[in-house]
A and B are shown apart, each in its own frame.
Chain A
């Protein structure tokens, strides 16, 4: 049977033979749980008893839950502050690091180090930095100068930026490396031509560097957007006693899902939240991929 196939057909058979493993893997590990989660979102289930049909009840509850809207807002705050901030910071660092020769490798290593550190360990260290006197580093410094203490984490306004800061810092190293690779990939001939024409650095930056970095920028935006939309470990570890607090000021959607599922054992409601998160991630990614395609 196999013998009678044309070479083209044989190639297809072999391609599928090799593809079978990842396809199987994705079906079992990704698609089946995803489908199951969507199914559970229409049911009530406390992990122990039987699943019962709930119809759209979980989604209705979500729509009317003030905590969900607060959490929704937080999630987008993480995205809208985190992504542009880390993009600008990492570009500025990469741009200048690229021009620097002195201790270049060492500095690059320093920027990359936080990315390699465990998020949990990092979150706990920052959590202690943020404490009040007598143990908090920042507040000890402030009080050393006679400046009143700042409530970093125990504040409804300061907590979210305080939690976001180490998350941005942690992701910076990776983005700097990607930007530097992007910068190196720009052919030097453009810069030489610009030099001959005698244009200023601003024009070089806006007319040559940034346009040619576009694929890199799109990649970083997509990548870090997904990261900030799914932020969990920094928030959870910096606020473990009062996850997402105070008063839900730092709670992202993933933490709400975790809490509903594994503290409240309300799997149906948690699944409904997951479906919403999935939809948001899908839409954001599609929009960003669209931007990439218009290239």
Chain B
């Protein structure tokens, strides 16, 4: 009752205000995301544009550190506080739906058939029946960064296939008198993006299928999986290694310092590499196999309307969702954050696809797969340990991959049985 009276008073006030000002702010909605400098800047621009087009809606953005994000969202929404539109990682969707934190997007504004045809296919993971739960503005994929100077110094071209890749890595590796590596040809470390490269890249390229049954069954414990793992561990464990685990502490640090010839990373790394003084770098697609098979990994953050949004706030939220998934918003996101548009119509424009920085990532989207994680950090940890068992305990790749597969299956079973 009191809220109704409050609403009436508020409506009265705002309509009075509307008489005097043409841009009265009738609805205020709240948007939450985690703090990442470029993403916040991009969202500020989007909100500004949106408010200019919809003078009767105000969008307030709140952001906080990634570490607190989930806890705060979980605490706020059931209490009727917090965001009307919220950003979440695609892998969290099941949890958010199960906890009744978000509501499906209205089918009239976001018809599934239209989204199916307009967005990159991996976005379909957000679909449930005829309705989409959430939509991304941008997606990410992997590509091979290379240090232009080191490449020139070694007299090699940016590699296009595995053979050239290994040759280039060997040419750029340097050792001191004692045989210690002082410059790596390629960075390595499952702690960074390599676990994605292994799962969705190497395993598929060797002819395998990392998961089956909609990512509920681990399937990389196969001949292809072992082959992929051997290819990977050979980088730093063969007689003439071209890499070292933990070289200069972190792969991207080694690349930034100009001590690594090549480095596999996501499109989100572009911004920080641009800020690195004195580093000349280029980027190309992940190496293909000899017979031209390519595979990539993509991931994305999505936006969704929370269950807290009702009435006019809901309508305003729908409008806002419409804008932040529009072509215009995607182009702004690409320009500011460096993350790739979620629609081929925007991403695959002549200009973007041939862009020497974004191009390789955008091309990668065409053959990318999105792993459905149950617990990304735990699943990554299993990959890290799989390599450690081989390197530190001398286990064979076949044995180690079997242990990893078994542990990951257990984790998935536990997650999906809830």
Contacts and interface: CB of A to CB of B under 8 A. Distances in A.
Interface in A127-156: 127-128, 131-135, 139, 143, 146, 148-149, 153-156
A155 B95 CA distance: 37
A5 interface: no
A148 to B, nearest CB: 7
Contacts of A149: 180
A17 B392 CA distance: 61
A48 B249 CA distance: 35
Contacts of A115: none
Given A48-B99, A242-B191, A245-B384, 19 more contacts: A46-B95, A48-B95, A48-B101, A49-B99, A127-B249, A132-B181, A132-B244, A132-B246, A133-B181, A134-B176, A134-B259, A149-B180, A154-B245, A156-B392, A241-B189, A246-B385, A247-B388, A247-B389, A262-B67
Contacts of B248: 131, 134-135
A155 B388 CA distance: 9
B96 interface: yes
B95 A49 contact: yes
A260 B39 CA distance: 28
B326 interface: no
A153 B388 CA distance: 12
Contacts of B396: none
B191 A143 contact: no
Contacts of A146: 178
B54 interface: no
A95 B410 CA distance: 55
B178 A143 contact: yes
Nearest to B254: A135
A154 B182 CA distance: 17
Given A127-B249, A132-B244, A143 B189 contact: no
A36 to B, nearest CB: 14
Nearest to B248: A135
Contacts of B276: none
A47 interface: yes
B113 interface: no
Contacts of A143: 176, 178, 180
26 contacts: A48-B70, A48-B95, A131-B246, A132-B181, A133-B181, A134-B182, A134-B259, A135-B248, A135-B249, A143-B178, A148-B178, A155-B392, A156-B388, A241-B189, A241-B250, A245-B384, A246-B384, A247-B385, A247-B388, A247-B389, A262-B67, A263-B375, A263-B377, A264-B378, A265-B70, A265-B95
A47 B189 contact: no
Contacts of B259: 134
A132 B244 CA distance: 10
Interface string A112-129: 000000000000000110
Interface residues on B, range: 35 or more
A48 B246 CA distance: 35
A49 B70 CA distance: 12
A155 B247 CA distance: 14
A146 B191 CA distance: 31
B389 A153 contact: no
B161 interface: no
Interface in A77-112: none
Interface of A: 44, 46-49, 127-128, 131-135, 139, 143, 146, 148-149, 153-156, 241-242, 245-247, 259, 262-265
B393 interface: yes
Contact of B384 (A131, A155, A242, A265): A242
B74 A131 contact: no
A155 B245 CA distance: 12
B381 interface: yes
Given A135-B248, A247-B393, A49 B98 contact: yes
Contacts of B22: none
B236 to A, nearest CB: 11
A133 B98 CA distance: 49
B401 to A, nearest CB: 15
A156 B393 contact: yes
A242 B192 CA distance: 10
A245 B381 CA distance: 9
A153 B381 CA distance: 17
B2 interface: no
B21 interface: no
Nearest to B249: A131
Nearest to A61: B414
Contact of B182 (A47, A133, A148): A133
B391 to A, nearest CB: 8
A250 B87 CA distance: 35
Contacts of B247: 132
Contacts of B381: 242
A35 B355 CA distance: 58
B388 A246 contact: yes
A263 B249 contact: no
Nearest to B384: A242
A293 B248 CA distance: 51
A146 B392 CA distance: 23
Contact of B180 (A49, A132, A242, A264): A132
Contacts of A134: 176, 180, 182, 248, 259
A134 B74 CA distance: 45
Contacts of B180: 132-134, 139, 143, 149
Nearest to A133: B180
B78 to A, nearest CB: 9
A128 B191 contact: no
A154 to B, nearest CB: 5
B71 interface: yes
B384 A48 contact: no
A163 to B, nearest CB: 15
A54 to B, nearest CB: 11
Contacts of B246: 131-132, 153-154
A104 to B, nearest CB: 39
B395 to A, nearest CB: 11
A166 to B, nearest CB: 16
A249 to B, nearest CB: 9
Instruction: Pick from A46, A128, A156, A242 the residue with the most CB of B within 10 Å.
Output: A242
Contacts of B244: 132
Nearest to B175: A133
